[in-house]
Amino acid sequence: MEITKKIIENHGLSSKEYEEINKLLKRKPNLLELGVFSAMWNEHCSYKSSRIHLKKLPTKGKQVIQGPGENAGVIDIGGDDAIVFKIESHNHPSFIEPYQGAATGVGGILRDVFTMGARPIALLNSIHFGSPSHPKTKSLLNGVVSGIGGYGNCIGIPTVAGETKFHETYNENILVNAMAVGHVKKDKIFYSKAKGINKLVVYVGSKTGRDGIHGASMASAEFDENSEEKKPTVQVGDPFTEKLLLEACLELMKDDSIIAIQDMGAAGLTSSSVEMASKGSLGIELNLDKVPCREINMTPYEMMLSESQERMLIILEDEKEDNAKKIFSKWDLDFVVIGKTTNTKNLTLKFNEKIVGEIPVDALASKAPIYNRAWTKKKVSKNKFDLKKYKKVKVEEALLKILSSPNHSNKSWITDQYDQMVMCDTVQRSGSDAAIIRIHNKDKAVAVSVDSSANYCKAYPVLGGKQIVSENWRNLISVGAKPLAITNCLNFGNPENKEIMGEFAECLEGIKDACKFLDYPIVSGNVSFYNGTNKKNIFPTPVIGGVGLIDKLSNPINHKLKNEKNRILLIGKTFGHLEQSCFLKENFSIIDGKPPEVNLSNEKNNGLMVLNLINLGLVSSVHDVSNGGLIVALSEMSIGSNYGVKIEKSNKLRNLIEFLFGEDQGRYLLEIKEESLKKVIELLKKNNIYYEIIGITQKNFFEVEGEMKIDVNDLFKINNQWYNEL
């Protein structure tokens, strides 16, 4: 077949990239080889627009066992235990086919974790939808939530935490980011680097079908009005088969059979074989006649580009084939030797006893394009809108509007669809600052949380990047965990747009600065570009997934108020920053101005002090202050606890609205028993930590002195109103 300009374009390759392929091959590629290049050189697999910037991120630390470059990151949590975790996007597939797109996103991230030898112990998600009034939002929300729950529940992994947000920027391009966390013994971590010559390359798992062909390429392009036509590129998942695959792989990993193992994720058999060969500086020869297919007359092109789910590629040690085959037969899964490692450093593809494709591995991996795309620095808004008129609103009215809005309503309608307690190690589930998962049969646990802040990142990307990392840090601190490391999913628009590329570069600058200062390295992640439709790009939406360690699980802490007549302490200074706030957005539909400043020194000092107070047993409950300010945070502490609070007016600010709704960073709310108050204050003063006593807990009523008084039960009803009407 002649390779035409149209065929090249349909494969997501530019004319310059095609010329480079000809140079690398020293000839023109055939259609199969072009398809392989398309799969490996697309944005989703090659990171060609982001690699230059990603290199700047801090990825090392004494707690890091494996940083970026493997299926998932690995951190040391003491003893012989390690945690494996990663977050990835499945945005485009979930918009086209919500249930399967979300479900296979969960399946894919789980395989990344158990491929490393870890048993998955928790799932999280960050999902973003368009305006609640948009005609597609309800069906997309229902489909995605059902897909996440359907896959996670069936495979038996608890979905313990996440976030759901709505904004018109996602009307035609939703975001579905899935995170998985697993536990592994440090001497049983597996990697994807091929080693040795003439080692067996084995295909295991489900059969290959035609679903998902060009899925990775589709994820590397903007949508248009014909996006519905891309449904065949969406993978179809089977959680029951994945459960079998998980157990079979973990069983095989108990001995020394595996040299290397790789999930067949994006770009399927192509990416898995190329990545293994590239890391090992070897070649791989595949006999495509042997690939198990569930559809008749599949071509080599279809086999290599299929993204059918629940499949792995394994390189076996010598004389291990028979035992390995027995294990996979026991679990009723395909086990077929489809190739071998070679010293050629080529990907060699055979079909019907002929070589149908031969490509240097380096041409697909290390020699893939790297672009230093032009970008422009963000012009930060200098709008000086008059806040005076907005400060005249009644406190109660403003609060109730926020608590009843889709973004701040109780999300139990969603989380109730997820099994959060399966495996019986979930100590604290969704609804708190972070979920807590016990390390099985031990007195230690990990805390996990995901966070994003698109409006901050849009307004001022550098500050937005710092803020997301800092908020994630605070969320882990608030449940008594020492923050250890993060994974990130970087969701942005078209990188060929200078402004979008600028948002990306500057967000990463902020993320880098915060991670370095807080000793909070990035060990894994994903970049998702081209999130937009018809040239309309989403707001920059980097998502941070954090993992922290709780050494002793004797007294887990959360944000709910525990008793009456306890004091409420506010840690950190309040300046009353209202620009880019929930107060303005939910009450006046205003998104304008600069985000609040992020003082990393205060973040670190305040956080470590709060963690120390928790460990000393001096705190009854903790909640970080973020979106909505301290009054929204206090409301969340009150709702569901049967206790309210009386907030005393502050003399430190001119305006009550600023005090209550300002979104100044680095702050925590602490519930302190009267008998512990003196000791807490002594420690805060000794360490120069700024604090205010702002209120006292009480039964039944949530109150701002002289301004409002509302029954706690009414707060609960208002906070549940929106989702109950879905």
Instruction: Please list, in sequence order, all residues whose beta carbon lies within 8 angstroms of the beta carbon of residue 229, skipping any fewer than 6 positions away.
Output: none
Q: What is the DSSP annotation of 387-409?
A: -GGGGGS-HHHHHHHHHTSTTTS
Three-state DSSP at 691 gives strand
**From start to end of 425-540, where are the E strands?**
426-428, 435-438, 445-451, 482-491, 522-528, 532-533, 536-537
Q: What is the DSSP annotation of 616-662?
A: TT--SEEEE--TTHHHHHHHHHHTTTTEEEEEPPPSSSS-HHHHHH-
Q: What is the DSSP annotation of 577-590?
A: --TT-HHHHHHH--
Nearest CA-CA partner of 478 in 595, 609, 630: 609
**In the sheet where 426-428 sits, what is the strand order?**
426-428, 435-438, 445-451, 541-550, 482-491, 522-528
Residue type, 628: G
Reply yes or no on whether 90 is catalytic: yes
Angstrom distance (rounded) from CA 560 to CA 110: 31
Of the candidates 44, 128, 577, 623, the residue annotated as catalytic is: 44
DSSP 8-class letter at 681: H
Cα Dmax for the chain = 86
Tokens 């009005």, located at residue = 225
Stated as kind and residue range, the H or E segment containing 704 is strand 701-704
User: What are the distances in angstroms from CA 484 to CA 114, 429, 473, 488?
Assistant: 21, 20, 9, 14
Angstrom distance (rounded) from CA 350 to CA 287: 5
Of the candidates 53, 90, 183, 623, the residue annotated as catalytic is: 90
Reply yes or no on whether 44 is catalytic: yes
**From start to end of 516-575, where are the E strands?**
522-528, 532-533, 536-537, 541-550, 567-571
User: What are the distances in angstroms from CA 46 to CA 50, 101, 198, 374, 604?
Assistant: 9, 21, 28, 18, 35
Angstrom distance (rounded) from CA 365 to CA 199: 21
Catalytic residue positions?
Answer: 44, 90
